[in-house]
Amino acid sequence: MITILAGSFVPMLILGVPIALCLVLMTIFAYANIGEPLLFLQIPQRMFSSTENLLLLSIPFFIMAGEIMNRARITDRLMDLSAALVGWIRGGLAHTNIVASMFFAGITGSAVSDTVAVGSIMVPAMREHGYDEDYSAAVTASSSVIGPIIPPSIPMLLYASVMNVSIAGLFLGGLLPGVLVALALMVAAYLLAVRRGFGERAPFVGVLRLLLAVLRGIPALLLPMIIMGGILFGFFSPTQASAVAVMYGLAIGFLFYRTLSWRDIAPILKHTVTATAMIMFLLASAKSFSWLVSYYNLVEHVTLVFVSLTENKYVFLMLVNVLFLVIGMFLDMGFAIIVLGPLIAPIAYQYGIDPIHFGLITCVNLTIGLATPPFGLVLFAACSVSGVKLSRLSWSILPFIGAELVVLMLVTYVPFFTMFFPRLFGYA
């Protein structure tokens, strides 16, 4: 079985076949090896049934809400607010970049969108103020991984639907790790700015300008508060919250900021349909593969492998971190969640690890992989925005990846950082 899966999947991946199609073809090869023709008829049935989860309906709505806010050009408001808050610190534009990414994360939930939206503004500004291009691109790429950690988060929605874990609990659990990543990156940015002589300390902008920036940015920042508040206090479900996010985004885009026009609707819908189709096809393709996991008792085999290596929970978590970091460097985050989640999570539960805690470990780990050289997805986005070569960016981003790995260790071995808010609201 393993020979068939690896022998079919790896060559197709090397040839550049899309991951979702790799999963479908690999599953067909495995079904053919079983030798029961009727199984082939169940492939489309299983693929269709995998998309019937009502929670998945929130994915296109959250994608659409993020694209609406992006098209409404609220990035400028968030930049002003971030600059007023942290621009006076040594290396101020780097800190502004990081804080803006944290604010933007609560709107889009996408690392690539964050990289393009924030990087297209901040990288030229940092270059103009004397920051090296590779440093500017590294700050942008590393801070964009906050996007899938702070709610709303598309990877968390995928994990919740696949593993039947509370999405509200995952959203709550991502709040502190997201803030910790931002703080760790700011410390790294400050130390590098001092070492390389970037960004002399600027004067504080003043209370009046800070209040004005807050007032201009409040409508955008209210979106994640509305989403989380509505879910936690029972006003609407996560799926309904995603629809409310779309309506709220349209309202402030057309009525408050007045930066949206009717010509923006078609591109918004096109992006939403394209992004949703990619995610749903990947999820549907993984459904048939999950049947193979059950048919061949792969969970039991993987469990025996881990148990043979160690019976210590903390060593197990270290092995999982190494595995996910390596996988996150090469494979799509959605693929890793959908395929590896059902394999590894049941083993974690046997070690006594809370499902929400392990879900956050998985999401944070794979998110860091998005910015990890050599093939992290946001690295390519940052290169296209900044014009920096991948080799330079890969070297410059390493100190920031180190800061994120410190946070990953805290998230992994100190459950307080992921479980405080879920326990507070009764989701643990």
User: What does R_g of the chain's alpha carbons equal in angstroms?
Assistant: 22
Span 358-362, average pLDDT: 94
User: For 373-397, what is each residue's pLDDT tens digit?
Assistant: 876 778 877 887 788 888 888 888 9
Cα(223)–Cα(103) distance, rounded to whole angstroms? 10
CB-based contact 398:142 (threshold 8 Å): no
- Measured CA to CA, the distance from residue 211 to residue 198 in angstroms comes to 27
Report the Cα 188 to chain-centroid distance in Å: 21
CA 212/CA 98 separation, integer angstroms? 21
Phi, then psi, of 323 in degrees rounded to 5: -60, -50
Note the pLDDT of residue 78.
76
Report d(CA 144, CA 139) in Å as an integer.
Answer: 8
Mean pLDDT of 415-423: 92
pLDDT given at position 355 = 93
CB-CB contact of 177 with 418 (8 Å): yes
Query: For residue 48, what are its two tokens?
Result: 């269709």
Does residue 16 surpass a pLDDT of 90? Answer: no
Write the DSSP symbol of residue 204: P
pLDDT exceeds 70 at position 219: yes
The CA distance from 410 to 259, in Å, is 41
Two structure tokens written together for 205: 């902008």
Task: Determine the Cα–Cα distance for residues 12 and 24; give it in Å rounded to an integer.
Answer: 11
pTM of the model: 0.80
Contact by Cβ (8 Å): 171, 391: no
Read off the pLDDT of each residue in 243-267 and give the average, rounded to a whole number. 87
Rounded Cα–Cα distance for residues 303 and 315 (Å): 14
What are the structural domain ranges in the chain?
Answer: 54-260+296-424
pLDDT, average across residues 254-262:
85
- Tell me the C-alpha distance between 305 and 70, whole Å: 45
Q: Tokens 């010509």 sit at which residue?
A: 263
Residue 411 has pLDDT above 90, yes or no: yes
> 274-333: per-residue pLDDT in tens?
888 877 777 777 666 666 666 666 656 666 677 677 778 898 899 888 888 877 776 667
pLDDT at 293: 65
At 152-188, the pLDDT tens digits run 888 888 888 888 898 889 999 999 999 999 999 999 9
Distance in angstroms (rounded) separating the CA atoms of residues 209 and 221: 18
Taking each helix axis from N to C end, the angle separating 377-386 and 133-143, rounded to the nearest 10 degrees, works out to 140
Taking 80 as the threshold, does the pLDDT of residue 75 lie above it?
Answer: no
Distance, in Å, from the CA atom of 393 to the CA atom of 414, rounded to the nearest integer, reads 31
| CA angle (21 as vertex; 19, 26 as ends), nearest 5 | 95
Q: What is the DSSP string of 45-78?
A: HHHHHTT--GGGGHHHHHHHHHHHHHHTTTHHHH
